[in-house]
Amino acid sequence: MAARDSFIDFLRDQLAPLGAIAPRRMFGATGLFCEGVMFGVVAEDALYLRVDDHNRAAFKEAEGLPPLSYEKQGRTIDLSFWRAPDRLFDEPEELVGWARSALAAAHRVAGTRSR
């Protein structure tokens, strides 16, 4: 289910310190792009941020929350996006810090794909 426009607008405002945030609807969700890479996904009004081996430890708090995944041929496919804790929406500076880490991970992932 796609995110409500009001939630996307809220995130664009909160994440403005990262730069221009470009939301794109895709596959029933909304991808959040900055600097040409997708660092976040909004699905059912929940924010998921890109994780990789470099920022996984920093996102330890999110480890217990359900990751963004889907079922395919009876298997669960993990998309390497972890749900941001809801408390971050009351902590704008910390939310930006998590998003900045996700953006760096998105750049690393994009760099490995372009090789």
Model confidence pLDDT, tens digit, residues 46-97: 999 999 999 988 888 877 777 787 778 888 777 789 999 999 999 999 999 9
pLDDT at 3: 58
pTM of the complete model: 0.87
Domains of the chain as residue ranges with CATH: 5-113 (3.30.1460.30)
Higher pLDDT, 7 or 64: 7
Beta-carbon contacts of 51 under 8 Å, excluding residues fewer than 6 positions away, are 59, 62, 80, 81, 82, 102, 105
pLDDT at position 7 over 80: yes
pLDDT at 68: 80
